[in-house]
Structure 1
Amino acid sequence: MGNCGSSASSEIHDIDYGHERVVYYEEADEVQKVGSVYSQPGSKGLNQDAGILYQGYGEENGAFCGVFDGHGKNGHIVSKLVRNRLPSLLLNQRNTLAKAITGERADGDLFQSKQVIKWKEACTSSFKLVDKEIKLLDNLDCSCSGTTAVAVVKQGDGLLIANLGDSRAVLGATTEDGIMAVQLTTDFKPELPCKLLLLYIQFLFVA
């Protein structure tokens, strides 16, 4: 059983039918975009996935989309904690870093380049902070539990993609033959030990 949520609302919708664990959120300032989020449990028992679509995120009618696949005894708790914390933490980190370059708006290319750098720095620091916060929780043993993470932030024509683990982001590109799937991330599997703990971040501009 899966669930698809799509609406225009200023409230957080935590969809939890059975083991569905998805959230759809919109800011109240007349966000026009319409999106959906979907969860399909597998056959392995407890669904440890968590997902979020946050529209009206940041600037330029942006959006945050994240998928988190928990593992271990408390993976379902960890994935939900990261889902609930990472979007606001990332935006706060980015806003703090961006204050240092607000005086350079006159130079468009330089400002845009530095904005991309600040988003990447904010992503790295927010991933580290949320990891630290979870480890410090007294009522949660996460020594053998965790979560993968793939997050996509849309700001204007730019896409920030960050992934840790083997969750995957795929872009649907329109071609003359229809819609083509373009994989945006690389799966970091245990057979790639040198990349197992690597947070991979990239920034793309899309039409």
Structure 2
Amino acid sequence: MEDGVFCGVFDGHGRCGQFISKLVRDYLPFMILSHRNALLLGGSDDDDDDPVFSDASSTDGSGRSSPNALAPAQLLEEWREACANAFQAMDKELKLQANVDCNFSGTTAVCAIKQGKDLIIANLGDSRAVLATMSETGYLKAVQLTTDQKPNVPQEAERIKRCNGRVFALKDEPSVLRVWLPDEDCPGLAMARSLGDYRVKRHGVVSEPEVTHRRVAPGDLFIILATDGVWDVLSNEEVVSIVCATPRKQHASKAVAEAAAQRWRTRYPASRVDDCSAVCLFLRDQQD
């Protein structure tokens, strides 16, 4: 789309998680845009002004569209419906993959869609989006744009329990609540929403993302999207500081991932380093 960009981070889990996250990475961006286009085409007689697909070879598209002049509430509602439909369609598509077992495997998805000054964040699972913004007094702060959708969130746990799922922590990690089947001590899913994970879908684990809108403000600098492996060992403020301290912006995401991996090795030397992936979307023109 004109003046548009899509960024996403997808963190797979389970035996087939790496395949599921790659499938979602490759297909979900265009499913979201397709459902958004369908809404626009269905609600407007002037088709020439609707966004169209162009480059389908990456997650960054560059097509033509007219500037979006919708009110924020209407814009958010349209994107919310488009994202919900696309995530549902993606979840159904995964089930059709004959060579990928999605019963106890799945992926998170945190996406940032920027068109002009409008920013849409769609989040599913326990990855996270954080905004770095400068206050009028020159104070840099980190603003968390998403909620980690884990079973320790009361509303998430209540939904799972209503659907006969169980939520409890293991004795050797009492701080980590997990989702379990009604009559089996599996899968121990550490998130309350995901794509895939079909055996727990009937027990309250849903594929509906939380979608929010933000108008980019003059002080907004960049957004970091990252997997829980980053946020488990680095605070929002630490991640923002790492990006700001990186001399060249194209190295910022790698710097965050490397810092998180190093923190894992230092803090948990006997444990495997969790997946640490990050994307940094800069919101202002900056010199490299």
What is the TM-score of this pair, normalised by structure 1? Answer: 0.64
Residue 137 of structure 1 aligns to a residue in which SS? Answer: coil
Bigger proportion of residues as strand: 1
What is the CA distance between 1:173 and its match in structure 2? Answer: 0.5
Residue 162 of structure 1 aligns to a residue in which SS? Answer: strand
Task: Write the deviation string for residues 58-102 of structure 1: whole angstroms up to 9, x where unpaired.
Answer: 23x111111111110011111111011011111111011111333
Q: Trace 1:47-58 onto structure 2 (pairs within 5 A).
A: 58=1
Task: State percent identity of aligned pairs.
Answer: 47
Match of 2:12 among 70, 81, 85: 70
RMSD of aligned C-alpha atoms?
2.2
Q: Trace 1:182-201 onto structure 2 (pairs within 5 A).
A: 182-192=143-153, 193-194=157-158, 196=192, 197=206, 199-201=209-211
Match of 1:158 among 114, 118, 121: 118
Bigger proportion of residues as helix: 2
Distance 1:122 1:167 in 2: 20
Distance 1:102 1:112 in 2: 18
| Contact 2:133/2:140 (8 A) holds in 1 | yes
Residue 37 of structure 2 aligns to a residue in which SS? Answer: helix
Amino acid at match of 2:96: L
Residue 6 of structure 2 aligns to a residue in which SS? Answer: strand
Q: Which has the larger radius of gyration?
A: 2
Q: Give 1:16's aligned residue.
A: none
Distance 1:72 1:112 in 2: 38
Distance 2:76 2:27 in 1: 22
Which consecutive residues of structure 1, in runs of 5 or more, have no partner in the other structure? 1-57
Counterpart check, 1:132 vs 2:92? yes
Counterpart check, 1:170 vs 2:130? yes
Residue 147 of structure 2 aligns to a residue in which SS? Answer: coil
| Contact 2:72/2:213 (8 A) holds in 1 | no
| Contact 1:149/1:165 (8 A) holds in 2 | yes
Residue 80 of structure 1 aligns to a residue in which SS? Answer: helix
Distance 2:9 2:28 in 1: 11
Task: Write the deviation string for residues 133-177 of structure 1: whole angstroms up to 9, x where unpaired.
Answer: 011111111111001111110111111111111100011112334
Q: Give 2:57's aligned residue.
A: none
Q: Give 2:142's aligned residue.
A: 181
Q: Trace 1:78-157 onto structure 2 (pairs within 5 A).
A: 78-103=20-45, 113-157=73-117
What is the CA distance between 1:115 and its match in structure 2? Answer: 3.6
Distance 1:202 1:130 in 2: 20
Amino acid at match of 1:138: A
What is the TM-score of this pair, normalised by structure 2? Answer: 0.47
Aligned residues between the structures: 147
